[in-house]
Structure 1
């Protein structure tokens, strides 16, 4: 397992200044930065836990000339704006009450209290900012070494506190897990229906996070087998799950970056009405909805003309269609969709009177220009001359 002292982020001068401002005995690095560094991965976000109340965090930072933003102060979180990137500083907490959707918390001064309310053992690792010694209350280091995703405490109780932990379990299993923990998987399966009580936005966020991972197909199958996928996405039948597997392989073979919306499209039948229903149910953005509908309208003929397809539908939709149809999206790599260089003025300049015929002739010239492979303006003008001459 990697050594924290070798990580560049632990030697950041701006972090050292923040630690000094808060007091070294009152803070610990926690969560993803510790976990990922121990696994030899790049740490993207730095989180700090502290015994200080949020007002004290902001006051100490102000005295040290460090800017803060009270991004989640009611939950104890202050975002500290450092030159090397923002850092979230959160007061130690313990749960007072939970209802499966939200928790009421009280601030604490005990590190174990804070660790006990976290979801998985590998997320409850704290590192001393001076020695970088890891404090582990629930066997997270052993679980990390074994690539085991295990709930802290009794899995059903932890899920009952926050139903979204079911989806978080599968996301972490996909990222860091090896053989699924039997108790965790059984709890997720038994409580799968509790996901119906969550907001659609929270479900969509976690689902898209899972689909953004390098290869979510095995995890999606695991979610189906556990009865979780049918609760959140009943449209994802066997054919759709197979399509996801083929899509991931195509992305990897063609060196195309993963895209969660494209992968969601794979999990849905290619029927616009069905896609619209799912987009509405998951409260997806207008752009995501439009893209899913565009991809759903794919036809086998799309594979034959990738660039004309991209010209009509946009690069994202065209690339998605080609990959889902088993086509080659290479023709779109580093290709920019061109603009048709002529306007209605060019038609009128050739002696036609303004009116509906102008738009019709321009469309016909544009179609010939696309079929000719998007030549330059002079060639486009010649194509327009041909169209006009045939009237």
Structure 2
């Protein structure tokens, strides 16, 4: 079987890179898998039996910029006009501890493929003939959309505990068959090993999983297997129900999936506890802020009123308000809340402290307090125009 031609094969500089490696290269991993599935290919990876120093010499001689991004593990990166290409020397594992591997370089393609996690990720293709090499039944699994570990699931997980999460992410993205019982059992048994990994790696995989089109089945399986509790503390049946509901809403309304929105559904509905988990996952400050905005304690689940949603958007942003509606509004109020946000942008409060001073208010803390009082009234009245502001200020009799 040969790999179908695809646009990514025409990237500028790729042909020159292949030529510089002089027949000692294959396309590997996601580029092969996604091309066979008719999906867009973003990252192109190449494997070669050439040693990394030899790869760098050849590319430099061909005037191709190359960076030793992971040379100790055999990886260098060619900087091409249409994007970087990673080139990795064939490897075999010498030892593993579930977090990292000690490797030795190899010239055996099957030995290198055996290091990969799933059969569908172990495919490779000759860049000249496009012949596909499949050592572990990956083509059949890809046709069936079956996610299967290479060899023993327990052994593959023992090599890298993050494969527990990768299994369910790939199941969510590609799997159309039921979860393999042996794989499920191995993932469940090793779940506690996730706590030995860096939280950054855990968070990265979690967000990738939540970003898939429909992760409901995979997430619920992880909850049932006791895996998710090692990632998100205090997860319960209510969180699982809410998670399923918001994915259904997204699909019904054709909303693009958002990992943070979906993560909020799984977190405790207490801003402080959710914040602790977000920090423990080493999420960025921007992501932590987004979670906090969606779990403000002033909002009380199904009691959110449609009339309040614009005020919430004013204090945060429209995206956060829309997410709050998707997450917490009940079925009766949900359409009204979305309608109030449709094509609406929070206005700018049309009054300053300087204007109050000009009208007779003495400078000092009273200016800020009065401004806040007027702004609160303005919001409560539905963001009235400047005439309303002038009349309201006049009624306060600031000079008096």
Q: Secondary structure at the match of 2:78?
A: strand
The residue that corresponds to 1:304 in the other structure is 307
Cα–Cα, structure 1 residues 13 and 273, in superposed 2: closer, same or farther, change >3 Å? closer
Farther-moved stretch of structure 1 (218-227 vs 152-161): 218-227
Looking at structure 1, the residues matched to 246 and 350 of structure 2 have their Cα atoms a distance apart, in angstroms, of: 35
User: Structure 2 length as normaliser, TM-score?
Assistant: 0.91
- Whether 2:354 is the aligned partner of 1:355: answer no
- Whether 2:16 is the aligned partner of 1:34: answer no
Looking at structure 1, the residues matched to 394 and 111 of structure 2 have their Cα atoms a distance apart, in angstroms, of: 79
Deviation by residue 1:78-129 (Cα, 9 ceiling, x = unmatched)? 1211111111111111111000111011111111121010111100000110
Gaps of 5+ in 1: none
Cα deviation for residue 334 of structure 1 reads 4.8
The residue that corresponds to 1:288 in the other structure is 287
Farther-moved stretch of structure 1 (373-382 vs 232-241): 373-382
Cα deviation for residue 261 of structure 1 reads 1.4
Q: Secondary structure at the match of 2:124?
A: strand
Cα–Cα, structure 1 residues 334 and 50, in superposed 2: closer, same or farther, change >3 Å? farther
Alignment of 1:108-119 (within 5 A): 108-119=106-117
Looking at structure 1, the residues matched to 310 and 252 of structure 2 have their Cα atoms a distance apart, in angstroms, of: 20
RMSD: 2.1
Cα–Cα, structure 1 residues 212 and 368, in superposed 2: closer, same or farther, change >3 Å? same
The residue that corresponds to 1:315 in the other structure is 318
Looking at structure 2, the residues matched to 187 and 196 of structure 1 have their Cα atoms a distance apart, in angstroms, of: 16
The residue that corresponds to 1:279 in the other structure is 278
Looking at structure 1, the residues matched to 170 and 248 of structure 2 have their Cα atoms a distance apart, in angstroms, of: 21
Q: Secondary structure at the match of 2:4?
A: helix
Cα deviation for residue 388 of structure 1 reads 4.4
Kept after mapping to 1: 8 A contact 2:4/2:35: no
Q: Secondary structure at the match of 1:321?
A: helix
The residue that corresponds to 2:162 in the other structure is 164
Kept after mapping to 1: 8 A contact 2:294/2:324: yes
Looking at structure 2, the residues matched to 291 and 236 of structure 1 have their Cα atoms a distance apart, in angstroms, of: 20
Kept after mapping to 2: 8 A contact 1:362/1:384: no
The residue that corresponds to 1:235 in the other structure is 234
The residue that corresponds to 2:142 in the other structure is 144
Cα–Cα, structure 1 residues 385 and 224, in superposed 2: closer, same or farther, change >3 Å? same
Looking at structure 1, the residues matched to 245 and 110 of structure 2 have their Cα atoms a distance apart, in angstroms, of: 45
Q: Secondary structure at the match of 1:97?
A: strand
Quick one: which of 322, 325, 329 aligns to 2:328? 325
Looking at structure 1, the residues matched to 185 and 291 of structure 2 have their Cα atoms a distance apart, in angstroms, of: 33
Farther-moved stretch of structure 1 (345-354 vs 316-325): 316-325
The residue that corresponds to 1:341 in the other structure is 350
The residue that corresponds to 1:251 in the other structure is 250
Looking at structure 1, the residues matched to 253 and 200 of structure 2 have their Cα atoms a distance apart, in angstroms, of: 32
User: Where has structure 1 moved over 6 Å in runs of 4 or more?
Assistant: none
The residue that corresponds to 1:368 in the other structure is 377
Q: Secondary structure at the match of 2:42?
A: coil
Alignment of 1:149-228 (within 5 A): 149-178=147-176, 179-228=178-227
Q: Secondary structure at the match of 1:40?
A: coil
Looking at structure 2, the residues matched to 377 and 169 of structure 1 have their Cα atoms a distance apart, in angstroms, of: 57
Looking at structure 1, the residues matched to 273 and 143 of structure 2 have their Cα atoms a distance apart, in angstroms, of: 43
Farther-moved stretch of structure 1 (29-38 vs 46-55): 46-55
Alignment of 1:10-159 (within 5 A): 10-23=9-22, 25-159=23-157
Cα–Cα, structure 1 residues 317 and 131, in superposed 2: closer, same or farther, change >3 Å? same
Cα–Cα, structure 1 residues 143 and 354, in superposed 2: closer, same or farther, change >3 Å? same
Kept after mapping to 2: 8 A contact 1:302/1:309: no
Aligned residue-pair number: 389
Cα deviation for residue 60 of structure 1 reads 1.7
Cα–Cα, structure 1 residues 390 and 275, in superposed 2: closer, same or farther, change >3 Å? farther
Kept after mapping to 1: 8 A contact 2:21/2:58: yes
